[in-house]
Chains A and B, each alone.
Chain A
Amino acid sequence: MDAAQALADLQEISSQIQAAVVFDEEATVVASTVADEARSRELVGAAVELLSAASASAPGEAQLVQLEASTGEGSVFVVRDAGRRLVATTGPEPTVGLVFYDLKSCLRALDTEPAKRPRKRKTAAAKKAPTKEAGDAT
């Protein structure tokens, strides 16, 4: 599925999410709900900083897969799945489990192929009937 479409679906199903940006391991913006490109890059840069600072505090060898930073002004969610990351913001006191579920579903949807259009099947009669070509004598 197209990343922009996945984000559009995410915003439709989750009213709590105010902004979301999908980015890759190189911090390149893949898709964003934020209109301003410069702001999207700023968002991604800060999200990468947040991830690396949080990963540094990981116990043992465990890999950080998601985080939520809750402030009085709102919450920041960052989710990591294979080579993609998603950062999203919400208002204060969101339903954390639901937001994480929606974000992970969005990232998984990026890995699915778009639905193929069903091919029109020719009936046996249509296959047998010869097609008239231009210039044929009738």
Chain B
Amino acid sequence: MQRKARTLVGFSAGVLAGTLLYRRGTRGRRERVDLYFDDGSMVSLAEGQQVTETLLPIARRILAAARNGR
């Protein structure tokens, strides 16, 4: 009975630790689009903006086409 309880606690702790590590790892991978112009200016469009929601699906199509064309 004690062995089962220890196994359950250990498993739960492992799942929790893995979830926290995964979330920490993906926090930095925010989707964005960076635009660079001939006057030296740069605009960074974060995900969630209307323009980005138009551009990112096109980018994903390009990635899929490149992956499938190998």
Q: A-side interface residues toward B, CB under 8 Å?
A: 18-19, 34-36, 39-40, 42-43, 46-47, 49-50, 53-54, 57-59, 62-76, 87, 89, 92-93, 96
How far is B31's CA from A75's CA once the two chains are assembled, in angstroms?
A: 9
CB of B35, distance to nearest CB on chain A (Å): 5
Q: Is A70 a contact of B32 with CB atoms below 8 Å?
A: yes
Q: Which range holds the interface residue count of chain B?
A: 20 to 34
Q: Is B33 a contact of A69 with CB atoms below 8 Å?
A: yes
Q: Is B55 a contact of A43 with CB atoms below 8 Å?
A: no
Q: Is A46 a contact of B34 with CB atoms below 8 Å?
A: no
Q: Is A92 a contact of B37 with CB atoms below 8 Å?
A: no
How far is B70's CA from A88's CA once the two chains are assembled, in angstroms?
A: 13
Q: Which residues of A contact B34 (CB under 8 A)?
A: 67-68, 70, 96
